[in-house]
Amino acid sequence: MLYDPRLVQPMRDELTRLGVRELRTSDEVDEALGADGETLVVVNSVCGCAARNARPAVAMAMGHGKQPDRVVTVFAGQDAEATARARQYFAGVRPSSPSLALLSDGELQFMLERHQIEGREARDIAADLTKAYDQYCATSQ
């Protein structure tokens, strides 16, 4: 069962205000995740750990010197087709929401699953992201 779109809109807006691009179809996912360069995929969710930990961590990491070429999001429980397709790019990782995945040329390089997000401070999650950016991203801000 999908969540009411009115319920999730503020949670979507929290990321899109930052410039994160929403992916709502499997074609949009393939286009973004199959592109050359680095892509951060935010699997968004209605849960408290997405609100308190994951989305704020993404916002904090956006100010880091190195950045992925793209930051995109799919919404678990809302954009079912896009979320399922994105998860196909996360080979060997069980479905998890929220989660944060960094891909390079379509290949998974780094992943934070729900159990690595839940109960942690946003600044610590942002530090994990920026460390991954330093390791895998070529683009400086």
Catalytic residues: 47, 49
Ranges of beta strands (E only) in 45-123 are 66-67, 70-75, 99-104, 107-112
Measured on CA atoms in the order 47, 49, 52, 54, is the torsion positive or negative? negative
- Which residue in 100, 102, 40, 105 sits closest to 76, CA to CA? 100
Q: Give the Å distances, CA to CA, from 20 to 1, 76, 92, 130.
A: 25, 16, 25, 16
Q: Which uninterrupted H or E stretch holds 21?
A: strand 21-22
